């Protein structure tokens, strides 16, 4: 049973998480612990969080597309692979314990933060791609699977690999990341909903906050570019790493 006062409180939190997600990802770092504290079971937390997050991501995706940072047509295959991977991940997580991933993810996120800090490639200039579009498909499918299965850091992984492997400018990579994140969220929500793991009234209330935060975040990112995205990406990666490490050793 959700206390009535939690609906507006969680909606306000969703504004913050939507803003963070639109720029650097990692909004789940805030929202998932809050939902757990509110008394929801872990699977309801994952499903409800995905549903509200999808709405905020949809707004950010719309804003980035309007800014001309990506086109859907050339990325249809990438979207399809990401969707398939995320759906598979969401199916698997409902049958297995995801605790083992908590050992690996902090290491990966620390690598993302270090790459963001040290690499000269993390700016708003396109560079030579190290992987072709087709070569990147398994990477996108793997990240999609991870998002459906576990989730934290998905945005960071997409941005970093699009910059490092596909040679995209940071702001453009952030825009495409939102499209792929929206895809993986949609796949996960469908699977969780079919499993009865979404509290729809709460998710819809929170979605209003996530949409507002997503619009503000995408507007800020398109205006300020790498000057804003790069430090927030580092901050989100390090904060999420610390949270996961702390959770592992205190569990």
119-142, pLDDT tens digit by residue? 556 566 778 888 998 999 999 999
**pLDDT given for residue 129 in this prediction:** 84
Domain contains 223: yes
**pLDDT given for residue 28 in this prediction:** 74
Domain contains 57: yes
Reported as type and span, the H/E element at residue 233 is helix 226-250
Domain that holds residue 114: 6-250
Domain contains 1: no
184-231, pLDDT tens digit by residue? 999 999 999 998 989 999 999 999 999 999 999 888 888 877 677 667
Instruction: Report the predicted TM-score, pTM, of the whole model to 2 decimal places.
Output: 0.81
Q: Total structural domains in the chain?
A: 1
18-70, pLDDT tens digit by residue? 998 888 777 777 787 788 788 888 778 888 999 999 999 999 999 999 988 88
Which residues in 77-110 are b (16+ Cβ under 10 Å) and which e? ebbebbbbbbbbbbbebbeeeeeebeeebbebbb
Burial class of residue 16, CB neighbours in 10 A (0-12, 13-18, 19+)? middle
Find the mean pLDDT for residues 82-98.
85
CB atoms inside a 10 Å sphere around CB 4? 8
Domain contains 49: yes
Better-scored residue on pLDDT, 100 or 51 = 51
Domain contains 73: yes
pLDDT band at 112 (very low <50, low <70, confident <90, very high): low
Look up tokens 């991870």; give the residue.
146
CA distance 139 to 120: 22
How distant, in Å, are the alpha carbons of 11, 114, 237 from that of 229?
A: 24, 15, 12
Domain contains 33: yes
């Amino acid at each position: 049973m959700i206390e009535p006062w939690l609906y507006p409180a969680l909606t306000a939190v969703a504004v913050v998480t939507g803003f963070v997600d639109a720029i650097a990802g990692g909004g789940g770092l805030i929202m998932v612990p809050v939902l757990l504290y509110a008394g929801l079971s872990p699977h309801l937390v994952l499903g409800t969080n995905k549903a509200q997050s999808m709405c905020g991501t949809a707004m950010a995706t719309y804003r980035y597309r309007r800014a001309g940072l990506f086109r859907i047509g050339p990325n249809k295959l990438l979207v399809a692979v990401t969707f398939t991977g995320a759906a598979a991940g969401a199916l698997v997580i409902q049958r297995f314990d995801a605790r083992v991933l908590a050992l690996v993810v902090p290491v990966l996120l620390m690598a993302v933060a270090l790459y963001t800090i040290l690499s000269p490639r993390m700016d708003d200039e396109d560079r030579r791609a190290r992987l072709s579009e087709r070569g990147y498909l398994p990477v996108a499918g793997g990240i999609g699977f991870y998002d459906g299965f576990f989730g934290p850091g998905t945005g960071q992984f997409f941005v970093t690999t699009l910059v490092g492997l596909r040679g995209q400018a940071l702001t453009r990579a952030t825009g495409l990341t939102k499209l792929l994140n929206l895809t993986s969220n949609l796949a996960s929500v469908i699977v969780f909903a079919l499993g009865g793991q979404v509290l729809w009234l709460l998710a819809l209330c929170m979605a209003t906050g996530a949409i507002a935060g997503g619009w503000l975040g995408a507007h800020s990112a398109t205006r300020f570019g790498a000057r804003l995205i790069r430090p927030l990406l580092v901050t989100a990666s390090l904060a999420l790493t610390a949270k996961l490490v702390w959770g592992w050793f205190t569990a």
